[in-house]
């Protein structure tokens, strides 16, 4: 038992250092070594996803974590109870897709994007079922503020993940909001705020990523919805307006965020 706990602590620490900075949706307290046993019991999907991702370079351990994670996902699909932590878990798995054991590696053939698309799709359906999509627009709630903030961050991450993977695989979007009218800013994600001067500014980076995602989402919406009418759109001169709008949007984004440092500090060591 102690050996298992030691492995869990090591992998959680590894995840916090090498993976979390690139997709910082896991609550800070999750990485507290003293909470690991609590986490394994009450947030098993998130706990298993963290270990699955962090153990990618340890084949035997990764096999065990992968198999257990797939069983948990199967239980969700079969109707087992799941909460926002399961949505977080599915999003983590979509960002660092594990190659299925005993299956030939197919990097470059779209398998990773396809698997990520399925993970994100499951996360979205679960998110809609849990009604966490409402957090994008409704801040007047009687819910515990910490839980509300967690759900709002996760749903914004769902939106970003859905847009990014859908563009890569050439599919339509599944998630609605948070759109440009939601007005979400860095201040709306207090769990990503710096706690000291040495922390990365994850909240600002997340806002910049969200705004960039909204820009190329608009472009993809136009191109995807007009697949069969592309020539008509061009002949009628509509694409010129679309291009002008895109140039203005991306220029504004660059003015606001072009100098933002998005590299975790440890990459410079």
Mean pLDDT, rounded, of the chain:
83
How far is residue 254 from each of residues 167, 251, 257, measured CA to CA in Å?
21, 5, 5
Confidence at residue 87, expressed as pLDDT on a 0 to 100 scale:
97
What is the average pLDDT across 81-97? 96
The alpha carbon of 11 is separated from its chain's Cα centroid by a whole number of angstroms, namely: 20
**∠64-66-72 over CA atoms, to 5°?**
105
How far is residue 148 from each of residues 42, 138, 142, 144, 220, measured CA to CA in Å?
18, 10, 9, 6, 30
Confidence at residue 269, expressed as pLDDT on a 0 to 100 scale:
37
Higher pLDDT, 185 or 45: 45
What is the average pLDDT across 175-181? 61
Confidence at residue 228, expressed as pLDDT on a 0 to 100 scale:
58
Q: How far apart are CA 134 and CA 256, in angstroms?
A: 28
* pLDDT category of residue 41 using cuts at 50, 70 and 90: very high
Residue 18: which of 268, 269, 266 has the closest Cα?
Answer: 266
pLDDT for 49 beyond 90: yes
* pLDDT category of residue 13 using cuts at 50, 70 and 90: confident
pLDDT for 72 beyond 90: yes
What is the average pLDDT across 244-248? 88
Confidence at residue 182, expressed as pLDDT on a 0 to 100 scale:
60
pLDDT for 1 beyond 50: no
Reported pTM = 0.87
Confidence at residue 234, expressed as pLDDT on a 0 to 100 scale:
58
pLDDT for 102 beyond 80: no
């Amino acid at each position: 038992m102690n050996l298992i706990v030691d492995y869990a602590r090591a992998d959680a620490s590894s995840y916090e250092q090498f993976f979390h900075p690139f997709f910082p949706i896991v609550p800070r307290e999750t990485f507290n070594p003293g909470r690991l046993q609590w986490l394994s019991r009450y947030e098993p999907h998130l706990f298993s996803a963290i270990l699955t991702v962090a153990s990618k370079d340890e084949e035997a351990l990764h096999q065990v974590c992968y198999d257990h994670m797939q069983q948990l996902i199967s239980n969700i699909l079969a109707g087992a109870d799941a909460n926002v932590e399961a949505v977080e878990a599915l999003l983590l798995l979509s960002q660092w897709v594990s190659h299925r054991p005993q299956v030939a590696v197919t990097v470059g053939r779209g398998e990773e994007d396809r698997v990520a698309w399925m993970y994100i799709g499951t996360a979205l359906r679960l998110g809609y079922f849990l009604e966490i999509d409402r957090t994008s627009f409704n801040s007047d709630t009687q819910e515990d503020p910490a839980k509300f903030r967690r759900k709002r961050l996760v749903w914004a991450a769902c939106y970003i993940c859905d847009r990014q993977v859908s563009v890569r695989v050439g599919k339509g979007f599944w998630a609605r909001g948070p759109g440009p009218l939601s007005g979400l800013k860095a201040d709306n994600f207090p769990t990503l705020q710096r706690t000291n001067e040495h922390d990365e500014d994850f909240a600002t980076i997340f806002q910049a990523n969200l705004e960039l995602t909204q820009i190329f989402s608009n472009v993809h919406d136009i191109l995807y919805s007009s697949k069969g009418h592309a020539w008509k759109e061009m002949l009628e001169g509509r694409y010129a307006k679309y291009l002008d709008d895109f140039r203005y949007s991306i220029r504004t984004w660059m003015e606001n965020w072009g100098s933002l440092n998005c590299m975790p500090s440890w990459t410079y060591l």
